[in-house]
Amino acid sequence: MPVKKIQSYIPTVSRRVHPAVTVAAALLGFAATLAAVLIVRGQNSN
């Protein structure tokens, strides 16, 4: 896929799905942070 096509395709998609994507990204980031903290704590306890 040419880059120009992708760049013109992204805005329409992000406008349609933006709220859901933002929430999903926030949840994913939160889950990743929690997982990292738990892993570090688990390694430290050992």
Q: Which residues, 6+ apart, have CB-to-CB distance to 21 below 8 Å? A: 14
pLDDT at 19: 78
List CB contacts of 14: < 8 A, sequence separation 6 or more: 21
Residues 4 and 38: their CA atoms lie apart, in Å, by 42
At 1-12, the pLDDT tens digits run 566 776 676 666
- Would the pTM count as exceeding 0.85? no
- Percentage of the chain surpassing pLDDT 70? 65
pLDDT, average across residues 17-34: 86
Which tokens sit at 14?
């992000």
**What is the residue extent of each domain of the chain?**
1-46
